[in-house]
Chains A and B, each alone.
Chain A
Amino acid sequence: MAATEKDIKDFMQEHKLQIPGNDKFMSNLMRQIDLLPVPASLEKGRISEKERKQLLSLIIKELKRENLRSVSGIMSIVILLWAAICILLWTFYPEASLFLKSNGIPMADAVIFSLASAAFIFPTIYLFRTTELL
């Protein structure tokens, strides 16, 4: 009868050598290892290159989320401030409404400029913080 692939596998597994003295071998090895200095790559508490990259990636993601939250908050405050100033002027100084009506375009420019400045300045501050961490 022709031998099959399974027969070969079975034959090899049946004749698998049982290796005695595992404990003795390991204790000899441990004794040898204890005589050697611990390599830097196996020192306790040391993080591998892969772990370092994962950690950095997590920090960067967290900083990006923090930046986004801060910028959104600052933009909302700036918008609210401008709205409050306009309402106050409109209410208490009626003549100011005339000024606002006649200078609508420069005023809108000022609002846009302040929003754009806030959006530029604050992320830049956070970018410096991120660079320091890296």
Chain B
Amino acid sequence: MDKERFIELVSQEQEPLRRFLQILCKGDSFTADDLVQEALLKAYLSFERFEGRSRFSTWLFRIAYNSWYDWIKKSGREEEIAQEKDTRKYNNIPDPSFLPDKNFRHQELYLALEKLSWGERAATLLFYMEDKSIKEIEQILEIPSGTVRSHLSRARKHLKEYLERKNN
């Protein structure tokens, strides 16, 4: 693969990456775009590390997710993340500050996701919005497939309840 091909592939993947990080960044599109740009430049400079074991898209998502993860750690939310990373201590703590501006046009999506933890939210977005498989989510979030399944199961239960409440 040469530089032109790399750019061509990246231009196909940038929109899903920006969408994924924008939701994780609670609608802050500027931060999300900065993080995606940083991730894509990292991918460009460390392309020799791409071994082709996973799809190129999965590799980019992993780098982007790690960039977001580093950013959230720097912005002082290590405790929530630490609780989620250690699955033995996992107690499904939602993020109280997840809801974005009231005027934000995707308010309903954020309302549906607000009670989910970071991991559940990321797995849900990847599975239902970006059509990633469990195996791909496992590689992107770097967690075991059992944890991905349990994240999805909790998210599914929550979203079903949310939709039922909404319909009634």
User: Does B44 contact A33, Cβ atoms closer than 8 Å?
Assistant: yes
A64 to B61, CA, bound (A): 44
Name which residue of chain A comes closest to B29, CB basis. A19
User: Does A42 contact B47, Cβ atoms closer than 8 Å?
Assistant: yes
B96 at the interface (CB under 8 A from A): no
User: Does A19 contact B19, Cβ atoms closer than 8 Å?
Assistant: yes
Number of B interface residues in the complex (CB < 8 A): 40
User: Most chain-B Cβ atoms within 10 A of its Cβ — which of A13, A26, A30?
Assistant: A26
User: Does B11 contact A39, Cβ atoms closer than 8 Å?
Assistant: no
Per DSSP, chain B at the interface is helix
Partner of B124, one of A7, A12, A28, A29: A12
A38 at the interface (CB under 8 A from B): yes
- Encoded as 1 (CB less than 8 Å from any A CB) or 0, chain B from 116 to 152 comes to 0000000011001100000000000000000000000
Q: With contacts A39-B48, A50-B52 known, what are 14 further pairs, Cβ within 8 A? A: A2-B160, A3-B163, A4-B160, A9-B128, A11-B112, A15-B112, A16-B129, A17-B106, A17-B109, A19-B18, A33-B7, A42-B6, A42-B47, A45-B2
